[in-house]
C-alpha cells in the first residue's frame, strides 16, 4: 500500500503532454534516419511514438513541419554555441563539431536526402530553408561579434562570409569527393579568416 506520509506524485496533463511531444520528435527523427523522408508518414510517426494522429496535429500542421522540427531539435542538441571571445576559436569549435557528421554515415545519408527533397517538394523546401537560415544565423552572430571586436574588416559581407563557412561543408557532404574530417577544420578556417581579416591601410590595391 502507498505510504500515506509520502508526497503524492504529480501526473498532470502538462507532464504527459511533454512526454508525448518528446516521443513524437524522437520518432520522427528515427524514422527519417531509418527510412528516408518520403517513406515517413504521420501514421508511422504516431505508431512509433504511441500517440494518436490528432495529438501530432495538435502541435504540427504537416509532416514537413514536424520532420524539420525534429531535425532542428537534434542538431541544436549536438552543436555547440561557442562564445569564447575569439572569432577563430568560436568558428573552430563550431566547424569542428559540424564536421563530426562525417563519422556518422546515417546522418550524412539523412542530410543528403533532406537536401534532395528540398529541391523537389515546395512545401518541404520552405521548412528546410527555415532550418538552414537558423543555422546560418548562428554563424552570422559569431562573425558579427568578431567584426565588432575588430577581428574582421569593417566592410565585410557577413552573408557571403557565412556562406564561405558552410560552403565547404555542404560541397563535401553532397559531392563526397573528400571526407569531412574535424581535424581539418582549424587549418581551413585559418585560410578563410586570412582573407577576411582587416588589412593595414596601405595594403592592397
Count the Cβ atoms, other than its own, within 10 Å of residue 55: 16
Per-residue pLDDT tens digits of the chain, which is 205 residues long: 444 444 433 344 455 799 999 999 999 999 999 999 999 999 999 999 999 999 999 999 999 999 999 999 999 999 999 999 999 999 999 999 999 999 999 999 999 999 999 999 999 999 999 999 999 999 999 999 999 999 999 888 999 999 999 999 999 999 999 999 999 999 999 999 998 888 776 555 4
Domain residue ranges of the chain, discontinuous segments joined by + = 13-62, 79-196
Nearby residues of 146 by Cβ (< 8 Å), 6 or more positions away: 87, 90, 152
H/E stretch holding 147: helix 122-148
- Which among 117, 92, 99, 87 has a CA at the least distance from the CA of 172? 99
Query: 12: which 3 cell numbers?
Result: 498532470
Domain spanning 79-196: CATH superfamily: Tetracycline Repressor, domain 2 (1.10.357.10)
Collapse the DSSP code of 109 into the 3-class scheme (helix H, G, I; strand E, B; otherwise coil) and give the result: helix
Tell me whether the CATH fold assigned to 13-62 matches the one assigned to 79-196.
Answer: no
CB 106 within 8 A of CB 157: no
Domain spanning 13-62: CATH superfamily: Homeodomain-like (1.10.10.60)
CB 52 within 8 A of CB 46: yes
Amino acid at each position: 500500500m502507498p505510504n500515506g506520509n509520502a508526497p503524492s506524485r504529480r501526473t498532470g496533463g502538462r507532464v504527459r503532454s511533454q512526454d508525448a511531444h518528446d516521443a513524437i520528435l524522437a520518432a520522427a527523427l528515427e524514422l527519417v534516419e531509418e527510412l528516408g523522408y518520403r517513406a515517413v508518414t504521420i501514421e508511422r510517426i504516431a505508431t512509433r511514438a504511441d500517440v494518436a494522429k490528432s495529438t501530432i496535429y495538435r502541435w504540427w500542421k504537416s509532416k514537413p513541419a514536424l520532420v524539420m522540427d525534429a531535425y532542428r531539435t537534434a542538431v541544436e542538441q549536438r552543436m555547440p554555441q561557442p562564445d569564447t571571445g575569439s572569432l577563430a576559436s568560436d568558428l573552430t569549435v563550431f566547424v569542428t563539431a559540424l564536421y563530426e557528421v562525417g563519422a556518422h554515415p546515417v546522418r550524412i545519408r539523412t542530410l543528403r536526402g533532406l537536401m534532395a527533397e528540398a529541391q523537389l517538394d515546395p512545401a518541404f523546401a520552405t521548412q528546410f530553408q527555415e532550418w538552414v537560415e537558423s543555422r546560418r544565423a548562428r554563424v552570422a552572430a559569431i562573425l558579427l561579434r568578431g567584426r565588432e571586436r575588430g577581428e574582421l574588416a569593417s566592410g565585410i559581407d557577413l552573408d557571403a562570409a557565412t556562406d564561405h563557412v558552410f560552403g565547404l561543408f555542404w560541397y563535401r557532404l553532397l559531392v563526397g569527393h573528400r571526407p569531412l574530417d574535424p581535424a581539418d577544420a582549424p587549418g581551413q578556417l585559418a585560410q578563410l579568416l586570412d582573407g577576411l581579416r582587416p588589412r593595414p591601410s596601405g595594403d592592397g590595391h
